[in-house]
């Protein structure tokens, strides 16, 4: 269930706003001596994390600017923060993150919100807080249309890629012994797709909506199927 993730005190900031109910419950301030809201007020800046290739939620557009559904939601949060704090303007600073470093970036205060698909798990809830889920997905595989791969039973002896630190990561590690494939962990979804595209992997395991976005953006979408 992709969500925006945060450890900031934006819940108090947005309490009473319709946007808060729709988007951003958040946890207590990460440092009582230097709360996130005070920093935003003092600096006039909110720092948002995003992905470079997590279509359609968070990605770099043709001009290299952050775009996508989760990005749009975070921009609305930034605007609400500006109004609630009584700021004339607010500067949005973007920081590209990967599935592997997103949680540490939020916990350590490098970003105030991570505007990308983040599956809400009990393990992650111990470190960060999530918005309400804004999309429900399932983990599937992207393969070449002519590969003959229909299920995990067809993966024995083949190479399976997923993005390190992602939901797919857990599935690939858990099922490796049962299905006998070789596993590879790329730094992000773009690199994972590149390994599939160039034949260095025969299957890419990830949330179906993210696979669909990468397939749609590929040179020839008809060459790939989601199974």
**Cβ neighbours around 178 below 10 Å, total:** 10
Can you tell me the distance from the alpha carbon of 184 to that of 172, in angstroms, rounded to the nearest whole number? 9
Q: What is the CATH number of domain 139-226?
A: 3.40.190.10
Can you tell me the distance from the alpha carbon of 208 to that of 162, in angstroms, rounded to the nearest whole number? 12
Task: Please choose, from the candidates 221, 161, 171, 169, the residue with its C-alpha nearest in 3D space to the C-alpha of residue 194.
Answer: 161
**Quick check: helix, strand or coil at residue 9?**
coil
Q: What average pLDDT does the segment 129-157 reach?
A: 94
Q: What is the share, in percent, of the chain residues with pLDDT greater than 90? A: 74
Q: What average pLDDT does the segment 168-185 reach?
A: 97
Query: Does pTM surpass 0.85?
Result: no
Can you tell me the distance from the alpha carbon of 162 to that of 171, in angstroms, rounded to the nearest whole number? 9
Does residue 25 have a pLDDT over 80? no
Burial class (CB in 10 A: 0-12, 13-18, 19+), 59: buried
Instruction: Look at residue 2 in the predicted model and tell me its pLDDT.
Output: 62
Each domain of the chain, given as residue ranges in start order, spans 2-130, 139-226
DSSP codes, 21-62: HHT------S-TTS-HHHHHHHH-EEEEEE-SEETTTEEE-T
Can you tell me the distance from the alpha carbon of 179 to that of 157, in angstroms, rounded to the nearest whole number? 9
| Equal fold, 2-130 vs 139-226 | yes
Question: CB under 8 Å to 121, separation ≥6 — which residues?
Answer: 167
Q: What is the CATH number of domain 2-130?
A: 3.40.190.10
- pLDDT digits over 155-164, tens only? 999 999 999 9
End-to-end CA distance of the chain: 19
């Amino acid at each position: 269930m992709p969500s925006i993730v945060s450890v900031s005190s934006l819940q108090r900031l947005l309490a009473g706003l319709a946007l808060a109910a729709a988007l951003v419950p958040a946890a207590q301030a990460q440092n009582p001596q230097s709360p996130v809201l005070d920093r935003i007020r003092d600096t006039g800046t909110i720092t948002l994390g995003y992905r470079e290739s997590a279509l359609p939620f968070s990605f770099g557009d043709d001009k290299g600017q952050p775009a996508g559904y989760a990005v749009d939601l975070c921009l609305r949060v930034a605007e609400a923060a500006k109004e609630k704090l009584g700021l004339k303007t607010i500067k949005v600073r973007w920081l590209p993150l990967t599935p592997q470093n997103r949680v540490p970036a939020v916990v350590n205060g490098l970003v105030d919100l991570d505007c990308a698909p983040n599956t809400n798990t009990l393990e992650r809830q111990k470190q960060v807080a999530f918005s309400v889920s804004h999309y429900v997905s399932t983990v599937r595989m992207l393969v070449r249309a002519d590969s003959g791969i229909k299920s995990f039973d067809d993966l024995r002896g083949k190479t399976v890629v997923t993005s390190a630190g992602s939901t797919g990561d857990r599935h690939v590690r858990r099922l490796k012994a049962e299905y006998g494939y070789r596993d590879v962990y790329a730094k992000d979804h773009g690199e994972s797709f590149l390994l599939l595209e160039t034949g260095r992997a025969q299957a890419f395991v990830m949330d179906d909506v993210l696979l669909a976005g990468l397939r749609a953006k590929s040179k020839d979408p008809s060459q790939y199927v989601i199974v």
